[in-house]
Amino acid sequence: MRRAVSLAGAGLGRTSPNPAVGCVVLGADGTAVGEGFHPGAGQPHAEVEALAMAGERARGGTAVVTLEPCAHTGRTGPCADALLAAGIARVVYAVPDPNPAAAGGAARLRRAGVEVVGEVLRAEAERGNELWLTAVRRGRPCVTWKFGATLDGRTAAPDGTSRWITGPDSRRDAHALRAAHDAVLVGSGTLRADDPHLGLRHGVEGRAPLRVVLDRDGTIPADARVLDDAAPTLVVTGPHTPKPVLGDRHEVLRVPLVDGSLDVRVLLDELWARDVRSVLLEGGARLAASFVGRGLLDRVVAYVSPLLLGAGARPVLDDFGASTLMAGLRLHLGEVSRLGDDVRLLLRVRALPGEAP
């Protein structure tokens, strides 16, 4: 199963709206005879890839898969049927499929006489596929807020300088995090201050995410770096904002205003309709506060530098309405690692199965 979880990771950032799934097929004697992962929507699922490698050696064997085999016909056929046709005698899976349209594969296999064992190494498989799992369970894209900050929670010095608060190892890791998400989101303040590109650098490979810019007043300059040809960009404006001038590859999306700000809940619904299942917030303190205040944040990845800047520097988060300790958002600490001189923290709004509540 750990090998299957590792295989699933090869599809991260490329499979939406489908999950990242890995599969290992064992022959009747217990030796590995096939493996595969889902490379992208419309392409063979992990089970089909692994069965194709195994061929006749799969008959009477075991399929080990990170997600319950699907039981529906979409762009491809049901994986449960493919396993039956291959003569698989036993299926071991990690995570029950939360998608009601695809779930039911385990029951179909059992009815056909296949031995089925579920929830094996579920916590590990959940972590490997948590962006998609969280999205399906919430009915909206999974939202991760990423930031680099000083030890006292500052993202820029009083003079506005911010490069570089964190070290090169953190910046490289942040680009790998970007590659795992379907979309990366910034606000107009970050656009004006930093003119970010939002593509993949530092040797990170993968599919560049959709670039999303919140620009309520339509002030994005025509020469902004996010409007180059490296990846598509979605510029989000107010309902009556004059349409900005963009290249042919880019698009304008109008959303309503709430208290003078763009409605980020509507934005998430629009991104969901575009098959976006994960969003990485890379904007500033005000953008992050809008998601926190509306209960739309799922994860935080913080790169903390051993640097102090003091009260005159820019804070990591604006006010989101928490006037007491009880009103604050208390997060669950998931993972801690060291990157050069920095510390990387992964925190979740809700604990995953197997984590302390």
The residues carrying an active-site annotation are 47
Tokens (6 digits) for 135: 């999205």
Give the closest residue to 267 by CA, choosing from 311, 305, 213. Answer: 213
Binding positions for Zn(2+) are 45, 70, 79
Instruction: List residues forming the annotated binding site.
Output: 45, 70, 79, 148, 162, 164, 178, 190, 194, 198, 201, 282, 284-290
Cα–Cα–Cα angle for 301, 304, 305, rounded to 5 degrees: 150
Of 191, 240, 235, 216, the residue nearest 290 (C-alpha): 216
With CA atoms as reference, report the closest residue to 286 among 182, 155, 172, 130.
Answer: 155
Alpha-carbon dihedral 276, 279, 283, 287, rounded to 10 degrees: 90
Q: How many angstroms separate the CA atoms of 208 and 19, rounded?
A: 18
User: Distances from the Cα of 194 to the Cαs of 97, 103, 150, 171, 226, in angstroms?
Assistant: 41, 44, 18, 15, 11
CA distances from 236 to 6, 150, 216, 220, 286 (A): 36, 30, 7, 10, 16
Q: Are 288 and 294 in contact (CB under 8 A)?
A: no
Half-sphere exposure of 95 (CA within 13 A, CB side): 30
* Residue list for the binding site for NADP(+): 148, 164, 190, 194, 284-290
| Dihedral angle sign, alpha carbons of residues 326, 329, 334, 340 | negative
